[in-house]
Every structure is written in C-alpha cells, then in structure tokens.
Structure 1
Amino acid sequence: MFHNFLPLTKKIRLGFFVTLLFPVLQGSNLYSQQTENPSHQIILEELRNYATTRGPEKMYVQTDKEFYGNGETIWFKAYLVDGITHTQSTKSKIAYVELWSEKDSLIAQRKLYIENLGAAGDIKINDSLQGGTYTLRAYTKYMLNEKEPLFFQKQIPVWDLPKAMDKIELPAAEIYSAPLSQPKTIRLQIRFFPEGGHLVEGLENVMGLKVTDGVGNGIALQGSVLDENGTPVAFFRTFDFGLGNVNFTPEPGKTYYARIDNGEIDASFPLPKPLAKGYLLNLKNKGDHILIKVTSNSEKGLQGLFLLGHLRGEVIYQHHIEKPNAKGSAVFKLSTDKLKDGVAQFTLFARDGEPLCERLVFMDSPDNPELEISTEFMDYGVRESVSTMIALTDKEGMPIPGELSASVVSNDNHLKSKRGTNIKSWLLLDSDLGGTVPDSDYFFRDDSSSRKQLLDVLMLTHGWRRFVWKDIRDTLTTKMLEHAPEKGIVIRGKTTAFYNSNKPLKSQVKFTILDDGAYQEQSPTNPQGEFSFGPFIFRDSIKGIIEAFALEKKRKPEVAIYLDSTTFSVPFKQPLGRKSTFALTGNIQDYLETVRKKKETDFAYDPKITKLEEVTLVGEKRTRAKLITKEADEITLHQRPTQRLFTDSLPGLQGASMMDMLRRVAGVQVFGSYPKQKTVLRPNGSISGPQEPLFIVDSGPVTWEFVRFMMASEVVFLDVLKGGAAAAYGSRGINGVVAIYTKGSLRIPPPIPKRFPGVTGFVVPGLYKAREFYSPDYAVSKKEHEKPDYRTTLHWEPKLPVAKNSSPSFSFYTGDSTGEYIIKVEGMTQDGRPVEGLSRFTVSNEDSKM
C-alpha cells in the first residue's frame, strides 16, 4: 500500500532519515524555467502510473466502544477507501475484519462485502474469553501486494468480569513526555534526524531529535550541542513524546555531540558526521503558504536539479531548476489554500534522477467539513426518547454528501490514559507513517500553534518506511498482481487424473448451484487443469455440485476434482516492543459493574428454564468427535455434559433446524413447525409441568426467539446438561440446559469427503451479514420492558448516508443507568475527507430539560 511516502533509494541515514512535507508550490519565476530532462520525466511518469494503476487501499474500523467486558458484543463499521484520494475504492469489494488474542490466535473473522464506503459487522465476545488486550485488524487481499502491507490495527481491552471485579489495579498513567527522574536508572536513547537527510558543513542545518527511555516512552529534557572541543554551539529542549529540534551550522572538519546534563546524569551522544559537500531542503509552514528553501555548498550549485512534491502519490508540485545563475540557494513559496489535508512529501532529485533530499510536511486545509451533532436537550430522564440531528456542511453551511456511523455509549467507557486514533488521525497521519505514532489523535485535539509545531517535528522524525522510489519501478515492471482485488466470492479448483493427483487434466467443468434461484455455467480449464467461477455475492451458505470430463480426443480418463478452500486469513504476530497495558481505573470499574448487572438481569428475566430427562444418543460417530472434544471442552463454561450431539454424526439433517436435532434426544419433546417450534421435556416424577430448557449459544444466554431460527447447518455440536452437570449455571440451570456451539466457535478441520470420478459437491459459506442492533421502544408497552435496562451502548447506527439536500438523524431511548453519555460520529465525505465529532448529554432521575 502506498501510504508511507517515498523514502529514498539511497538510505539517507543519520539515525533515521528526515521527513517533512509541504503542498503545492508556486515557484518564483527566477528558477522556474522548464527544461525537459528525460530522467526527471521518467520519475513523474512512474509516480503517475503508480497512482493510476497500482495505488493503495486503506481501511479504518470504528467500534462502538473503547473496551469491553467478556460476554459483550463489538459493534463496528469498516471503512475502505482509495489510499490516494480517500474516496470510494474502485478495487476491492471484499474486506476482512478479525479479532486476535495476545497469543496470536484468531478469535473471530468477519468477511464483509463493501458497499459504497463501508460495511457493518459485529463480533460477540464469549463469556469464557480470557481477559486481556486483543487486536482488531482489518485488511483486503489487495493490500498484500505491498512489500510491507499496513493493515488497520486497534487494541481492544477485554476484562474478565469476575476477575476484574475482585481486584482493582492501581492506574499507571500514560505519559506523553516524562520529565527525567531517577536518572541513574534510566537507559536514555537519543536519535537524530537531520532535515533533508544529512548535516552539511558550512550551512545552517535543522535537526530533529527524539529522546526516549529503554521502553520507548518519550522524555522531556534539556541539552546542548557541543563541538569536539566542548564548546556549546546550540541548545535544545524536547517536549511531548520526547520530540524536539535544534538549529546549528557545522564548521568544516569538526565533529559534534549532544550532551544531556540533568542533575546526576551527564551523558554524551555523537551526532551524525556532516558532509563536506551536499544539499539541504528546508521547509517552513506559515499557515497559508509554505516557504521552501533549497541550499547547497556544491560547486555545481542547483542548476539541473528537480524538486517534486506529492500528497499521498498525487503530484502537487514540480520544478526544474535550470537557470544558469542558479547558484547555491533558491527560495520558493507554495500557497496551501487549495490543498487537501494529509502528509505531503518533497524530494530533491539530481540531474540523473538520483534522490538527494527529502522532507515531509503535514498539510492542514482551511476548507475542512464541519460536523455538528445536536440533541434537543442536554439532560434526559431514564427511558426517555432522544432525537439526534447531524449536520455535515461546508463553510457556507451547505450539506456535503458522505457516509457516517454513530455510537451512543456511557462516558465510563473511555481509557483515560489516551484516546488513541480516530478516522481522521488514522487516514491523514498514522497510516502514512507506518502506524508508528503512539497516539496520533493527540495532534488533532486542538488547533494551537504549539500542537502544530510539535506535529511538524513529528514529520521531521518520521519517514516513509515502506516506500522507496526504486519500489515504484519494481512494482510497475510486474505485469500481474499477486493478489488481485476481490470483487466477491470466487470458487476455484483444479482437475487431475483420478488416480494421480499430480497429473493435471484439461477438462470441461460444469458449475451448478442447487439452492433457491438455481444457477449453472460451464467453461474449460486452463492447460494446468485450473478453473474458477465467480465472483458471487451471497450472504447465506450455498450448496452445489461441480462436474468435469477430460477434453482429450482419443480417450476419456476419469477426472478428480479438487476445490480450493474459500477461507482466508493472514498470519498475525504481535508487534515487537512494549505491549500496551490498561489499568482498571475507577470509571472502568463502574462500567464493568453495569455490565455485570446487565448480565445478571438478562439471566433472571429469561423465561426459559427447563428440567431435562436422561438422554441417550444412538449412532453417534466418534471419529470426528474425538478430534474436537478437547477443544470443545476448553470453551464450554460447564464440565462434562450429560450428553453431547455432533451435527456430522447425525444423518438426515439437510435442511433441518436446530430444534429438529433435539428430536434425537430421549426425553426431549419438540412441538410445532419451523420457525415456531417449542421444546419441552417429560418430567421424571416431577409434579411441576414441563418447562423450556435454558438455552446457551456460544457461551452466552439467548432467548427462544433467537434459537427458534437456528438451522442444524449452523451448529457444530450441542450439549445437554441436567442435575450436577448444569451446576455451572446455578439456579438458572436447575431444570436443565441446552448449550449450542456454532461453526464459528471452534476451529475444526472439516471431515474428509469421499471422492467420485467427475463430480464433487460443495458448500461455500456466504459473506457475513451483520446482526441488527437491539434498541427498545418504550413508547409501546410490553411485558419485556419490566426488565431493568442496563445497556452500556444505548444506540449503534452503522450507516448514516448524507445526501446533498438533507441531513441524517436518528432516535433512541435512554436506559435505567444515569450519568453522562457520549454520541460519537465518524465517517467520510464522498470527495474523500474524513470527519469525526463528539456530543454529550446526561441521563438523570430528574424530569427537567436543559
């Protein structure tokens, strides 16, 4: 992906090479004579071709909350955009969102179809999931074409409720810049970033610094630059994140070092050695324009050099310096009023096209959209309707077309240590710096001059770590993409000799879908026996058959058909370095207490407790059961069940419901027809009438309304528990439990099918269809409303389209929990500008409105 703008072909070294960028230059006429240079024209053409044919994609995922308790649901909206324009991507239509554990295990995956700018999804966190810091990751297959793919990643803290509530950890504050304390125990690290890439003798240089401790925390301190004789030549300070800069002019033949003298510590660090001859590229952001100064002490001066600026790959400035009197210095002025937001890059090229200097700068456009979130009142009572209006407008107040998503959550659900990232900071900053900014949103929280200056220093100390000019040439010379953009589900396979799988056969293949809306097509394979059908877009699993016969004229050998797996995932490895830890602060404890009350209430008010008879399973195939019993036992809340049913051990379940599976259990009765089937069991000597069992799906309690729609094809296995086997569920399981585990709950290899010549069947899972977020309507009286309402997410609205002549709105009801709530909105305009905003309101027991 091409988010990290172009590091040089030659590594401009000295710690890291420098970075800063500025937008579209308006050069003065003194140095603007345009002379065609074939080397420079090639550079321009390569960049333009790359942006047109091999441009990157970016993803961002908004979640309803910052952290969760086990048993909750992660509601999310995945955005997919073109990596250069930030508009709707014309490449991929399929994206993957995954949840990974601290031990690099895949917990859940959602394969989504992207419509317009994004797609909604959800991930249910099992009650049995161990607490810890999980990683939410999003990507497309197309991103894998990059040398160093950059996926969207977000840390998701999950607390194990019983453990979290037993003990409160002391909060460890997240510090952006820590003053130097206990200096003898700190392992100090200083890295130097000369502006443009190198220090040059005899010229005034700007150098960025980054000071950290042994685990990467930024350190705020003071120091000085001294020459080899110990004479101070400049003084510096570092601020938030340990960032700072210093100006000085190296003298010919001298070496320099930085010295830190803070009380008991006295440490020196050698600076990069200055070049005797070289070039400097200096940029100063003046708000409405940028001053660009090119300087050299070379005898050849600046004649024949080429200055190129681009914003995420889109050329915004080009200037050939060709005047005979172009000596050692040139200054250009670039107006910024028409430029987009984001990181821009300027590169100074030699006459032969070799890069000499680089500089990054962040462009902050004055023409940003305005997002306004409003409610009728600032204070509401419990179970009261809240109407929310959203306006996305330009400076003149006219609506801007776009797509938004919104969540309404308790203010207790926030991590005080840091906000991390949002759609604006990720797309405009962090994604183009390789995901290396610890808290990218920090640089967008206010519009102060000090924050802008620090952002400029951040540019100085970060480079395009994933993209070099040489990579453009290598990419464009590769005719075929290794990973083509996915447009839908493609069913691939190959045909071989039936008794020799290593011998491919060119065959005629017929593809048939047997479900409703039956579909059929056929085509020949290639000489290697490979075939593919699609892309298809379907939400539910489809069944079908594939037939094939060899295309040999003299004889017709029997054909074997092998299908490729349609499942896909990229291995995940936790990044090296310090892992983030999240302390259980007071607001988090309050939040988890609310989550626990909600779970207890859900159990208490679910009318589905039933006593089960002794059950006996007849004819179960144990071969596959043995493969998964150990893994199944690890995710269940209970111990040994009274009886376990494996779906693939029971014949005749095609098209059957989950309730039909229970018909196979002795002592369990199922009445009615799908989807209104009821399950009861004959009491064994009990004087009470039969009751429904307690239903559990993937370790979470559900209602009869939920399970009555479940099909047997969704189930891997189910457990029936009675008596002591149901003890884990307390009084709720006194009359028995039916615990159902779906195909997403275990990573189990599918059974090996028996092969037949020339034909094979298939079942292909569909794209994920997001569940509908439950939002009660208290305007209508229902018995279920007697249950206390402890929702922590009051509302989730994943798709809020904004049209030219209208503004979106939504409404919801508050619950029974009082306190402050946050409405968080994120999204994209159609022309590629990210937006985000917050609004707050309070829920109290008073009826007054403000």
Structure 2
Amino acid sequence: MLLRFLLSLLLLSCAPAAFSQGLDSLLAFRQRADPQERVHVHFDKSQYNPGETIWFKAYLYAGGFPSGVSSSFYAELLDEDGRVLQRHSSPVAFAAATGSFTIDSNFVKPAVFFKAYTVSMLNSDTGFLYTKAIPVLGVRKTTLKPAAPALRLLPEGGDLIVGLPGTVAFKATDERGAPLRVGGTVTDDKGKSVAELRTIHDGMGRFTFIPEEGRTYTVSWKDGRGKPYSSKLPPARPQGTLLAITDHETGKRFTLLRTADVPEAQKELQVVAFMNQEVLFKADINMTSRVTASGVFPTGNLRSGILCITVFDRNRQPLLERISFVNNRDFEFDGDVYLTQKNFNKRGLNKLEISVSDTVPTNLSLSVTDADLNAPGPMEDNIVSRLLLTSELRGSINNPYYYVFSNSDSAAYHTDLLMLTHGWRRYNWSDVWARRLPPRRYTEHSFLAITGGLVGVPPGLLGPGLQVNGILQTADTTKDIIVLPVDRKGNIFSEGLVFYGPARLYFSLSNKSLPSDAGVLRLDNGLYKPGIRSLLDSSVLVGIAAPDVATIAANQKVTALSQQSAQQFARSVQLANVTVAGKAQSPLAKMDQKYARGMFAGGGKGFDLVNDPMGTSYANVFQFLQGKVAGLQISNSGPNPTLTWRGGSPALYLDEMQSDVAQVGSISVHDIAYVKVFRPGESIMTGGGGGVIAIYTRKGGEGATDPSFKGMSFVTIQGYSPVKEFFSPDYAKPSERDAYGDYRSTLLWSPTIYTDKTRRKIRLQFYNNDVTKHFRLVLEGVNAEGKVIRVEKKVRAVN
C-alpha cells in the first residue's frame, strides 16, 4: 500500500476537508469501475522474415500490479492499412496470456502491426491499447507517405500567461517521425527575438520567455540540413497562474506564480498529486495576499512511476496539470539466466538455468535466438520501460528504456523533457466530480460464455424448469456435461468455460413433450467480435527502423537455406508417398479417390483433414490453408477473409457445388474431410482463372459420431484460438528430419515459467541449429508484488 502524505502550506477555512476526502473517494470509485488495465508483450524476436512465426507472451497489469481484471486477451496482426491479417484470443492465467501469429510467406510490406487489448481496455481510453510495428525483413514496398517535419510546442502546465515567465517544451520529428535535431529563434510579431531554442535530447528541448500583452509569437527553426520552417506558439492568456515542477533532494518541488488580477476563486488553490488513480499528496494554497507559493512533495517512499499533479481552484475547476517521473529504482526483482552447458557445435546440446532470489511467486518468459539474425536497439521498449513509462504516455518514444535504465543527472533531466512533451489531460474532471464513468460499450464475461437461446419456440412451450442438457466435445475429444437453464424468453447464458478451437455441443431438451423440431438453438462464445479493420495510431505508422545491412544480409542467406531445406524435405515426403503408392494407395490418394469426381478428379494439391492430427485445431478452413498454398493470399483468418491468387479470386466449391466465402467460412473444420486446390489456370472449372478451392464435408465413417450422442442434435461453438506449440527438436532421438538442414532463428521459446518459494531454480535445454555461433537470451517477467525483471545476454562462440 502506498503511503499517503498531506502537505498543507496554509490552512484554508474556505477549502473544506470534504474537497480532499471527496477526491480520494471519487478516484477510488473510478479505479474500481475503470482500472485502466495495460499490456506489455514479450516477443521472441524484434524482427521477422516472411513465413516465420511471431511467438508472444502478454503481461497484464493495473495500478502497477499484475491485473486480475480480465479473463480474456485479444491480439490482432494488421497491415499498414489497418486490415486484419489474423486474430487471436486466449484465456488469461496468472495475469498473462500466450499465443502466436505466422506471417504469410508472400507478405511484401516492410512491417506488420501487432495490436493487443482486453475488453476492459476497450471500455476505457482506447488511446492506450498496445500497438507495435514489427519489421519484416527483405521487403521494402510500402504505401505510407512520409509526413513533413514537425515541431510540437507545449507550455508547462498548459498555458502561457502574459507578464509571467513561461517554460515551453518542444519536440521535433522528421518525415519518419524520428527525433530531429533543430535550432531556431522565437520572435514576436514585430520581429523582436525573445528566446533561442536548441535540441537537448532526441528532438526535445525547452526555452523560457515572458509573453507581452498584444503580441503573438513565432518559432523560426531549421532542421539538420538547414531547411527552414516556422511554427506558431499558442496565444498567451491575459491573466492566470503558472505551475513549475522541479526535482528536489527529497522529492518534487512545485512552484505557483499568478498574475495580480485572477478571479477570487483562483486565489484559493489545492495542488493534488496522484499515481495509479490514488491520491498521494494534497496541498491547500492560500494566495489571496501573495502571487507566488511553493512546496515539496516527498517521494522517497513512493513506488517508481508517473506522478500526476493537478491544480484546482476553489470551485474544483482544474487550472493546471503536469506529470513528473519518480524513479526510486525499486521496480526490479533479482534473478538471472545463464548457460550451464554451452555448445555451439552443429546441433549441439545447450543447458541453461533460471534462478530467482525472492520467494515471491513470479511469472516469466524466455527466448533464445540467433543474435546475428536479430538486432534490436539496446534501449528499445521492454517490460521495465513499458510498466513505468510507455504504457502511460502517448506518441512515439525513441529508446524508452534509456529513461529508466540510466541513473545519471542528465538522464533525469531528459526524462523530465519527456514528461513535458508527452503529458496529457488524464481525466475529464467534470465527469469525476459528477461520478460519471466512461460508457461500458462491451461486456466482459468470465472466460468463454455460452450465450444465445432457443429461437422459434412458441412462448407457451417455454415453461419453468426448461433446460438444455448437453455434452460439450472439444477439439481434443474432451467431453463435459453441461446443463443450460432456459428462461421464459428462451435465453441461455453460462460462463467460465475454457477450450480451444471449435467444439460441438450435443444437446437435448429436458421437456420431452416438446416436438423434436421445436425451435433452433443458436449459441455464441461470448467473446468480443472486432471488425475487419482496426484503427492504427499514426505514431506507429512512422519511424519503422530497418536493421543494419549486415543483419538483413544474414537473414536473407539463412532464409534461403531454410527454404531450400524445407523444399527438399517436402520432395522426400512426396517421393516416399509415391514409393508406397506403388504397393498400396497413400491415405491422401484414397481421400482424393473417395471424394473428387469428374473435373475435380486428378491434379491439384490435396489436404487430408481426417488423418491430420492438427486439422481440427483451426478456427475455419481459411485459417487451415493460410501459408500452406504458395501464392494464395488470405487477408485474415476470420470466417470472411479476402482471397487472392495471382491477381484473381479463387472459385470456391463446397461438395463440388459452387459456393462463397461466407458459406464456406461457416463450416466447422470438424465437418471437413478433404480440401483440394488447383492453381490459377490449372482447372477448366468456372472461375478457375484465379484458382479453385474445393471443400468436401465428411462422409459416413470419418469422425463418426460417438454412440453416446445418438439421437442428439448439435451446434458448433468456437473456443479460444487453437494453441500452436513451439517446435524444439530433440536430436537425441533420431528423426527423418535430421537429414535436412536446421536453420531455426529462434532456438528456444518458453513462455510459461513459474517460480515460488519452493521452486526458485528452473532448468531448460535446447539444441543448436546448423549455423548459429551467437546466442541472445532474453528473460522477462513480473512477480506478485508488481516488480519486474529484464535480463538480456549475448553469448558468442570462442574461436
């Protein structure tokens, strides 16, 4: 629990205690209703090649602690136009969620965009959803147009006041949104120079001047190439109060300075400082007989984070706001990861150990990658900077880890510049005082929820006690008995379920007197349903930095070797099938003979879902096909994607009858036995110019219904996104893949590591690939007290 302090400079008989106590309770009320949940995502790498898998783990927190708010997590993979390429949903366990996306092997843009959120975040300020640009190597096509260089001018506290010395912070960015070094002069409308500005750090700086009555001011500035620009300063108010925040040896010093002619209500002020929606300090300031006042908020006992300072007048109106960073260097717990057995030989066995000193429960994730293929910036955003800084600030921040990593005086000054240039008005204070909450636009259920009901049943038949008795069979054939009460309107609701992929609910009604065709059961999984597009903040669309030339070249070389190896392995499997087919038909050939007729027989490429153990783990047939057919572009893995193949749209056939995306997307993968695709121009069928995709539903004998379900109807319910397991070869056990090249760039991805007082050391192992001589180990995580860990190590082979 954070310590509370009350700093009172002058007691005010006209500032009742109810003001302070009311604000405490109002913010506590708001925190309960809007906990301002945030997300950090640990990726296995910083950039990827087309065709590679993005592995990720999301950490959820609220108020500086692991969050217990949400039970479901959502992620989207977008292109630069906001089109959703893939979607992911997963349950939240121990304030975290895991998942993966596979980039299409034919993706041709320089970046994909990862967006993550919860329903709680959607019901709050959506400007703080997690969004990250992830570079895709080897392609440089983009439709983004660079913006003009810009200079943002931000007076401290919010306003310039005539006759008072005001500080103005600025941030300059170039065409890509990256920090820009600038220099210039501030002049009034008569050409008089009143201040100079020079960049201090990463495009940021500050200057001070005293505005005069009736004057307007312009900043004339030049970029590093000497190109001139001009920007207008906001007009100064004729009267008012200024707020300045500076560092003090015991905390944060605030200084107030007002003009002589402010309204009476603005002579009696209250300065309030809060963090994570909890009031920490209050200072009642009587400025009736003075024009300046100051005080110090002691911060030595606070948790590190962003302190928000707001100045109210006697009528509770907010006059000034400012944020300031408190860095007590108390945000990390002690832990380490190190190799106990190091082997850079081809397919050599490596062993490592994770140790945590504290007995507090922790939730960790670890990646081991080829450091020569993965070149992130040393100060890029990570779990530390995200928890303390970037999740609470708007706009693009260059090298955010620098502000919490460095303990130099200059870093503290630079951090304050960051506060001045990225602050914002956190609350609509009128809503706070009126106890008005943000509208709850979306409903959050406890994990998956079965929602819907019986449709088409005459009201008179929906008597009390009616219920749906069912057996839920999930993709892994697990069966659970479910009883669903039906209300008088036919509605059904039950929550708290966790399963992955599509599941079948076999059911019957408890009232046996109802006719078998009485109504239709329509059910949904209760998850949030996003649209086909998603808004991207402009700050993530610019400044996508490509790795250095050497890293790109190394990736291209290894990718080419990996593709060659994969092709060789695929050909060997085909040859093996051909060899076997000489004696007996392969299962795939049998499926083709059983299902394909007429013009669909022969040729093409078939997929046997009956004998594919992972076939039923996909949400729909489009997600199953994604990345499996060269040249076929599937814009997203939802039920209604956009399909293109060599510039045309493939024709869809369902059981050899022409169909469409909506109908095919509604078919459960459990009900599909065989899929056959024909390349553009390979088939003479109608619409074959853009390729043909034929889908065949199961016939008798494939996936036969369990005898216990005899006579029962069923509906399909979609669960969380199917889980894809990270592949880590075990070269101690011979496999047919051993004869082919191993060029994995991610050697180990372990996203669910837990420690506590009984288990403080974790041992893992992995095999090297065929080429890596330089490991990069990254360990991230959080403990139950809200402290985090970030360990990054690079280990190179000794020549």
TM-score (norm 2): 0.76
In structure 1, distance between residues paired with 2:43 and 2:205: 34
User: How far 1:244 moved relative to its partner?
Assistant: 0.9
- 1:766 maps to 719
Q: Is the 8 A contact 1:620 1:646 kept in 2?
A: no
Matched, 1:274 2:236: yes
- Pick from 115, 128, 134: which aligns with 1:156? 134
In structure 1, distance between residues paired with 2:461 and 2:273: 51
Q: Per the alignment, in what secondary structure is the counterpart of residue 461 of structure 1?
A: helix
User: Per-residue displacement from partner, 1:782-833 (whole Å, max 9, x unpaired)?
Assistant: 6754544322111111122232462444332323214322101111121113
- Pick from 356, 362, 370: which aligns with 2:319? 356
In structure 1, distance between residues paired with 2:590 and 2:42: 46
- 1:309 maps to 273
- 2:450 maps to 491
- Pick from 468, 471, 477: which aligns with 1:513? 471
In structure 2, distance between residues paired with 1:742 and 1:416: 46
Give the aligned residue type for 1:796. Answer: W
User: Per-residue displacement from partner, 1:452-508 (whole Å, max 9, x unpaired)?
Assistant: 322211211223366422344677457x844233321111114444599xx997873
Residues 297, 520 of structure 1: CA spacing in aligned structure 2 closer, same or farther, 3 A cutoff?
Answer: same
Residues 801, 227 of structure 1: CA spacing in aligned structure 2 closer, same or farther, 3 A cutoff?
Answer: same
- 1:331 maps to 294
Residues 643, 216 of structure 1: CA spacing in aligned structure 2 closer, same or farther, 3 A cutoff?
Answer: closer
Q: Is the 8 A contact 2:269 2:285 kept in 1?
A: yes
1:626-641 paired onto structure 2 within 5 Å:
641=603
Matched, 1:144 2:122: yes
Residues 239, 484 of structure 1: CA spacing in aligned structure 2 closer, same or farther, 3 A cutoff?
Answer: same
Residues 65, 763 of structure 1: CA spacing in aligned structure 2 closer, same or farther, 3 A cutoff?
Answer: same
In structure 2, distance between residues paired with 1:473 and 1:513: 50
Matched, 1:801 2:754: yes
Q: Is the 8 A contact 2:48 2:136 kept in 1?
A: yes
- 1:820 maps to 774
User: Per-residue displacement from partner, 1:313-366 (whole Å, max 9, x unpaired)?
Assistant: 1222122235x8762222211222222222221000011110000001122122
Residues 296, 547 of structure 1: CA spacing in aligned structure 2 closer, same or farther, 3 A cutoff?
Answer: farther
- Pick from 497, 505, 525: which aligns with 1:544? 505
Q: Per the alignment, in what secondary structure is the counterpart of residue 143 of structure 1?
A: helix
User: How far 1:148 moved relative to its partner?
Assistant: 3.1
Q: CA RMSD in A?
A: 4.5
Q: Per the alignment, in what secondary structure is the counterpart of residue 385 of structure 2?
A: helix
User: Per-residue displacement from partner, 1:345-403 (whole Å, max 9, x unpaired)?
Assistant: 1000011110000001122122232443333488844443333334445xxxx555421
- 1:384 maps to 348
Tell me the percent identity.
23
Q: Which moved more, 1:428-437 or 1:249-258?
A: 249-258
Residues 556, 330 of structure 1: CA spacing in aligned structure 2 closer, same or farther, 3 A cutoff?
Answer: farther
Residues 96, 620 of structure 1: CA spacing in aligned structure 2 closer, same or farther, 3 A cutoff?
Answer: same
Residues 506, 108 of structure 1: CA spacing in aligned structure 2 closer, same or farther, 3 A cutoff?
Answer: farther
Residues 259, 766 of structure 1: CA spacing in aligned structure 2 closer, same or farther, 3 A cutoff?
Answer: closer
1:388-403 paired onto structure 2 within 5 Å:
388-393=352-357, 398=358, 400-403=360-363
In structure 2, distance between residues paired with 1:423 and 1:742: 47
User: How far 1:549 moved relative to its partner?
Assistant: 9.1
TM-score (norm 1): 0.72
- 1:75 maps to 55
Structure 2: 5+ residue stretches without partners: 616-623, 631-667, 684-692, 698-710
Q: Is the 8 A contact 1:698 1:740 kept in 2?
A: no
Q: Per the alignment, in what secondary structure is the counterpart of residue 440 of structure 1?
A: coil
- 1:248 maps to 209
- Pick from 183, 196, 199: which aligns with 1:238? 199
In structure 1, distance between residues paired with 2:553 and 2:694: 31
State the aligned residue count: 701
1:545-694 paired onto structure 2 within 5 Å:
545=506, 558-564=518-524, 568-571=528-531, 572-576=534-538, 578-581=541-544, 583=546, 585-605=549-569, 607-609=572-574, 610-611=577-578, 641-642=603-604, 657-658=611-612
Q: Is the 8 A contact 1:379 1:842 kept in 2?
A: no
Q: Is the 8 A contact 2:349 2:768 kept in 1?
A: yes
Matched, 1:462 2:391: no
- Pick from 398, 406, 430: which aligns with 2:390? 430
Give the aligned residue type for 1:373. Answer: V
Give the aligned residue type for 1:258. Answer: V
Give the aligned residue type for 1:598. Answer: S
- Pick from 77, 97, 113: which aligns with 1:119? 97
Structure 1: 5+ residue stretches without partners: 1-22, 171-184, 630-638, 648-655, 662-694, 702-710, 727-738, 744-757
- 1:699 maps to 628
Residues 511, 643 of structure 1: CA spacing in aligned structure 2 closer, same or farther, 3 A cutoff?
Answer: same
User: Per-residue displacement from partner, 1:133-179 (whole Å, max 9, x unpaired)?
Assistant: 2112211122221253532122223346xxx6xxxx79xxxxxxxxx
- Pick from 61, 69, 86: which aligns with 1:108? 86
- 1:650 maps to none
Residues 473, 92 of structure 1: CA spacing in aligned structure 2 closer, same or farther, 3 A cutoff?
Answer: farther
Q: Per the alignment, in what secondary structure is the counterpart of residue 555 of structure 2?
A: helix
Q: Is the 8 A contact 1:309 1:344 kept in 2?
A: yes
Matched, 1:525 2:506: no
